[in-house]
Amino acid sequence: MDSSLSRNQLRSARKRIILFTLLGILLTGALVGASTTVPMYKSARAHIEQANIINSKAHVAAIQNQLSQYHIIAEQLTSRTEIKKRLEAYVADDISLAELREFTQPRLQEPATQARHLAGLIRYTNDGTIVSAVGSLAEQLRRFDLTDTAFKTVMLEEPKSTKLIRIATPIYDQQQQQIGLDVLYFYTDAFTKLLSNIDIFGGKAELYLTNMDTGATLSFDYHSQEIHYRRLTEREKAFLLKTNTRQTTLLNHKDKQQDLTYIFSPFESHPLMLIVKVPTRTFYQAAYQDLQWAIASIVAMLLFGTLLGHIAITPLIRRLAKQADELKQNTIELRIAANVFEHTHEPIAISDANLTLMRANEGFYELLGIPNDTFLIGRNLLDYISPDSKQHSGYSTFLSAITKHNSWRGEIWYQSEADGRIISTPTLQSTTAVKNHNGEVEYFIHIFSDISEQKIIENQIKRQASIDTLTSLPNRGSMLFALKRAIHKCQPEKYCALLFMDLDGFKPVNDQHGHQIGDKLLRQVAQRLRSIVREGDFVGRYGGDEFLMIINQLPSKANSAARSQAIIEHLSTPYKIEHLEINIGVSVGIAHYPSEGLEAEKLIQAADEAMYRAKDAGRNRYSY
* Whole-angstrom distance, CA of residue 266 vs CA of residue 276: 12
- Rounded to two decimals, what is the model's pTM? 0.43
CA distances from 232 to 57, 99, 362, 578 (A): 22, 48, 48, 52
Q: Distance of CA 73 to CAs 135, 316, 403, 522, 543, Å?
A: 14, 87, 54, 17, 8
For residue 413, the model assigns a pLDDT of 87
pLDDT digits (tens, 9 = 90+) for 259-294: 888 888 888 877 888 888 888 888 888 777 877 887
Write down the pLDDT at residue 366. Answer: 83
Task: Return the pLDDT at 191.
Answer: 76
Q: What is the pLDDT of residues 87-129, one digit of tens each?
A: 888 988 999 999 988 998 888 888 888 888 888 899 999 888 8
CB crowding 406-425: b at 16 or more within 10 Å, else e:
bebbebbbbbbeeeeeeeeb
> How close are the terminal C-alpha atoms of the chain, in Å?
125
Quote the pLDDT of residue 331. Answer: 62
H helical segments located in 79-96:
81-91
What is the 3-state composition of the chain as percent helix, strand, coil, each rounded to the nearest 5? 50, 25, 25
β-pair partners for 165? 153, 186
Read off the pLDDT of residues 468-506 as tens digits, 9 standing for 90 and up: 889 989 998 888 988 998 888 887 777 899 999 999 999
- 377 burial (CB, 10 Å; 0-12 / 13-18 / 19+) is exposed
In 338-392, alpha helices (H) = 362-368, 387-390
- Outline where 284-355 has alpha helix (H): 285-316, 320-337
Check residue 337 and give its pLDDT: 43
**Any idea how long the chain is?**
624
Report the half-sphere exposure of 170 (CA within 13 A, side-chain side): 11
Q: Measured between alpha carbons, how far is residue 268 from residues 190, 251, 329, 459 in Å?
A: 20, 20, 61, 18
Order the strands of the 226-230 sheet from edge to edge.
Answer: 226-230, 217-221, 206-211, 272-279, 260-266, 249-253
Residues of the chain with pLDDT under 70: 1-10, 13-14, 143-161, 199-200, 309-310, 314, 316-342, 418-420, 461-464
**Nearest CA among 344, 426, 332, 372 for reference residue 39:** 344
Residue 40 and residue 432: Cα distance in Å, rounded?
A: 11
Contact indicator for 367, 427 with CB cutoff of 8 Å: yes
Q: What is the pLDDT of residue 73?
A: 84
Cα–Cα dist 378/357, whole Å = 5
DSSP letter (8 states) at residue 474: B
How far apart are the C-alpha atoms of 183 and 146, rounded to whole Å? 8
User: Is there a contact between 302 and 338 (Cβ–Cβ < 8 Å)?
Assistant: yes
Strand-strand pairing, 178-187 and 162-172: antiparallel
**From the CA atom positions of the chain, what is the Rg in Å?**
35
Taking CA atoms, 322 is separated from 326, 327, 331, 336, 600, in Å, by 6, 9, 14, 22, 88
Decide: 427 and 411 in contact? Cβ < 8 Å.
Answer: yes
Phi/psi at 355 (nearest 5 deg)?
A: 70, 20
Number of H helices, E strands in the chain: 17, 23
Q: What is the predicted pLDDT for the residue at 321?
A: 42
If we measure between CA atoms, which residue out of 156, 191, 152 comes closest to residue 168? Answer: 152
Nearest to residue 448, comparing CAs of 358, 354, 385, 374?
385
Beta strands, E only, 451-535: 495-504
What pLDDT does 545 receive?
Answer: 93
**Among 531, 539, 537, residue whose Cα is nearest residue 495:** 537
| Signed CA dihedral, 27, 31, 36, 38: sign only | positive
